[in-house]
Amino acid sequence: MTTNASGFTQLAVEDFRLTEEPYYLEINDEIRLFEAAYENNIPVLLKGPTGVGKTRFIEHMSWRLHNAEGQSSEEGVPLITVACHEDLTASDLVGRYLLEGDETRWIDGPITRATKAGAICYLDEVVEARKDTTVLIHPLTDYRRLLPVEKRGELLEAADGFLLVMSYNPGYQSALKDLKHSTRQRFIAIDFGYPDRDQETEIIQRESGASAEFARDLAKLAEKVRNLKEHGLGEGVSTRLLVYAGKLIAAGISPRRACQVAIVWSLTDDGEVQRSIEEVVTSIFDE
């Protein structure tokens, strides 16, 4: 890790470790499940709507695992996150040669680095990636734990501690963008739903610093708004948005206004649905 003169830190992806515990509230038994999967080298698929805490969960696990493993606090499980998009290619993941003067130099891609470093490799929103890239990871996910690096003609065996984790939001998948069965059947799937009212209250309060009362009201609002899913709303309001609203409230914005900008307008552009949600907001918050 190097700290630059201008004050920012720059570090190699495989060196990224969480030193402070990221807040995560267990909803079911997902922590226990993940730990078991990790011990047994079983790749994990995190399913669930946006903003319920999938990424937070994986961060929390990477922090937790390095603590639980009894390793020294320096030597934790690194977390390498790749945000997938439709132009993501195999060499983006595995690595490529670069031109340096007259020479070429090989540079490892994130997945290669994770394989070598024994890191958790987290492919966020994996369905967005091109199909050919998802096939690439197949040998990594079964008993072989191998990564073929085609361009160098090498085969890389994953270091201990390496685990492939993907996230996936079944909510807005069209038939076109679905995971291939050969891919999805290599993972155990942990389903993330919305937390219940009490849990969500706790999360909002903890994350946003809003008062318990507002946090509870926000959680209540979330419950009501989620009832509208499929009735004008594609997806229910995420915990993330609730936290944003909570932060705005904590910063002194009036609750109604905070909900309007953080929840109502974020969720939909449909005037009528907006109005309906606003009415729910004004029913719950009195100013």
Partner 1 sequence: MPDSNVAELVAKYEEELRGYGASLPDEFNRSATALSAELSSDQLDQWAKTGISLAGQSLRAWEAATEYFRSSPSIHEKTDFEGVIAWAGIAEELAQKSSLVAASFLKFTPEVLTHISLDELSEWSKQGDRLFRGNWKSGTLSAAYFEHTPDLLSVLPLHSVEKLVSIIDALTERSYELASTCLETSPKIFKELEQPDREPFLDFARAVTRASWADTRLYFERGPDLIASINSQYRSGFLELSAKVTSEVGRQAFPLFADAADALGQLPDDTHAEHINFASDLALGSPTAAMEYLKIVPFASSRLTPEQLREWSNIGSDVLISENNAEGAEAFFRLESTRAEAALQALSSRVELSTISTLLRMYAKALTGEQIAIYSVEELVDQNIGWVQESVATTEGSSIYLPPFVSTFEAQEANFQSYKVFATHQTGRIEFGSFAYKWNQDGSFTSATVEDREASSEDTSPEGDDEPKAAAVTAMQRYFNSFDERSLISGIFTVIEDTRVDAYVGREYGGIRKWLKQLQAYEANRRPRIENMPLRSAFVENLLRASLGRPETMRWPTVYREFLENGLSALKLVEEEEATVQDSAEVSAVIYDIAQRIPNITPSMADGKFEFDVPTEDMLSIQPAMPSGDGPPMDMQANEQEVEFENPPQPEFRGDFKPELVQLLARLKQQQEGNVDGEGTPLTKEQLKELLENSVEITIAEWAEGDLDESLGMFLENLEQAATPSGEGKSDDETSGSDESSGGDGEGEEKELPVEIDWSYYDEWDFRASDYRPRWTRVGQRFHEAEEEPEFYSETLRKHHGLVMETRKQFELMRPEVFKKIKRVEDGDELDVDLAIEFYIDKKAGIGPTGRVYNKRNKIERDVAVAFLLDMSASTDEEIEKQRQSHSDDDDDDFDGDPRKYFQWLAARRASQMIEPPKRIIDLEKESAVLIVEALEAIGDSYGIYGFSGYGRDNVEFHVIKDLDESMSELVQRRIGKIEPIRSTRMGPAIRHTIHKLNEHDSKVKILILVSDGRPQDHGYGKDRTEKEYAVHDTKQALLEAKRDGITPFLITVDKEGHDYLQQMCDDIGYEVVDDIESLPRRLPTLYRHLAVE
- Helix, strand, or coil (residue 5): coil
Binding site for partner 1 (CB under 8 A): 87, 91, 96-99, 104, 106, 151-152, 217, 220, 223-225, 227-228, 231-232, 256, 272-273, 275-277, 279-286
Of 185 and 211, the one with the shorter C-beta distance to partner 1 is 211
Element (H, E) at 163: strand 163-168
Q: What is the helix, strand, coil percentage profile of the chain, to 5?
A: 45, 15, 35
Written as six digits, the tokens of 104 are 């070429």
Other CB atoms within a 10 A radius of the CB of residue 87 amount to 9
Query: 121-153 burial string, b = 16+ CB within 10 Å, else e?
Result: bbbbbbbbbbeebbebbebbbeeebebbbeeee
Of 20 and 87, the one with the shorter C-beta distance to partner 1 is 87
Q: How far is the CB of 286 from partner 1 (least distance, A)?
A: 5
Q: How far is the CB of 12 from partner 1 (least distance, A)?
A: 22
Q: How far is the CB of 106 from partner 1 (least distance, A)?
A: 8
Q: How far is the CB of 213 from partner 1 (least distance, A)?
A: 9
Task: Give dist(CA 22, CA 56) in Å, integer.
Answer: 7
Of 185 and 283, the one with the shorter C-beta distance to partner 1 is 283
Q: How far is the CB of 283 from partner 1 (least distance, A)?
A: 4
Task: Give dist(CA 269, CA 249) in Å, integer.
Answer: 23
Of 78 and 255, the one with the shorter C-beta distance to partner 1 is 255
Of 116 and 152, the one with the shorter C-beta distance to partner 1 is 152
